[in-house]
Amino acid sequence: MKICYVYAHPEPKSFNGALKDTALVALKEKGHEVKLSDLYAMKFDPVLKASDFPERKNSEVFNPFFEAIKASKTGAFAPDIREEMEKVKWADLLIFQFPIYFTSMPAIMKGWIDRVLAPGFGFNPVTNSAYDTGLFKEKSSMLVTTTGAPKEMYSEGGVHGDLNKHLEAITHCIFEYMGMKVLPSYIIYEASSISKEKGAEEFEKYKQRLLGLGADVV
């Protein structure tokens, strides 16, 4: 299987960094092909801007939606966008790993989605039934995320509410909108205060989850 692993955490020595390293080793041991997008290490620019489109449809007024539609037909995106698009096109499965920031993803990953999964490339903009006509129907996706707060705070009735419901803004409104099959999210709670022993257990659990990837992907 071909896997694009999109990762966002600013500290390589963090729990998230070790979790990502565990994933890469496990996936390669299983025989999967993996391409990593380590967004902070890449210094990926999350800002959608006019220079993303070298061949402008309208040079007077910048409308990113219409510029992306044109660029999706011609391939005229900025080089950093094209490079990430090639990884997406290549992949069978996209795994997104990040820490929870205000019940969602870090800005750098949201910027990756805004710039890379562009209209015309990531979804069909000319239909009202994009969920049924998504352009990525042959692909699957999975979220891997960590929280600082305990599970009780991110559960139904907890002060933050059910984290899985918060994540539907990503899993449903982005990934399913684009036609992807969404695998169950993998969530590790209280990562900021986890003990070394508990951390090792979590790494092993995550490894086993990845080693079990197979028929559930496509």
Convert the pLDDT of each residue in 57-67 to its tens digit: 999 999 999 99
The DSSP 8-state label assigned to residue 218 in this structure reads: -
Residue 148 falls in the annotated catalytic set: yes
Residue 160 falls in the annotated catalytic set: yes
pLDDT in tens, 157-204: 888 888 999 999 999 999 999 999 999 999 999 898 888 898 999 999
Q: Write out the two tokens for 189.
A: 């709670």
Which residue is catalytic, options 101, 148, 172, 212?
148
Which residue is catalytic, options 7, 32, 111, 154?
154
Range of the domain at 130: 2-211
CB-facing half-sphere around the CA of 5: CA atoms within 13 A: 24
pTM: 0.94
Residue 7 falls in the annotated catalytic set: no
**CA separation for the pair 17, 97 (Å, rounded):** 10
**Count of residues in the chain:** 218
Is residue 216 in some structural domain? no
Is residue 218 in some structural domain? no
Is residue 25 in some structural domain? yes
Is residue 177 in some structural domain? yes
Domain count, the chain: 1
Is residue 217 in some structural domain? no
Which residue is catalytic, options 40, 158, 160, 199?
160
CB-facing half-sphere around the CA of 39: CA atoms within 13 A: 26
